[in-house]
Amino acid sequence: MYRPPAASGCNTNLSLSLSLSLSLSVQSLQAWLTRFRCSDHPLAIETGRRCAAGPVPRHERVCLCCGDAQETEHHFLLDCPEYAALRDAYWFMYR
């Protein structure tokens, strides 16, 4: 099974999780969101395309947190059970 070299597991720490931390500056949040929208992020769906040994087949680019599905943007934001607490904590910002 494919594992990106930079990924070592899930970050479920509510205070430091990716762009969801309220302590991030506006510029860093904008930069992260721009990278996410342009598919320049560390999710397996993108890192698997750019492997030095050649592209990893899409079906092998599974979520490193839950291992249940492909680690796509949709899965990361809406479906991954490992990030359910973060979604619940911050969903009010997007209603």
Using alpha carbons, select from 69, 4, 12 the residue that is nearest to residue 41: 4
Query: Distance between CA 81 and CA 28 in Å, rounded?
Result: 26
Please give the model's pTM, rounded to 2 decimal places. Answer: 0.63
Of the two residues 16 and 87, the one the predictor is more confident about is 87
Q: Hey, which of 1-5, 15-19, 51-55, 91-95 has the most confident mean pLDDT?
A: 51-55
**Helix (H), strand (E), coil (C) string for the chain:** CCCCCCCCCCCCCCCCCHHHCCCCCHHHHHHHHHHHHCCCCCCHHHHHHHCCCCCCCHHHCECCCCCCCECCHHHHHHHCHHHHHHHHHHHHHHC
pLDDT in tens, 25-66: 777 778 888 888 888 888 999 999 888 889 999 999 999 899
Question: How confident is residue 8, by pLDDT bands cut at 50, 70 and 90?
Answer: very low
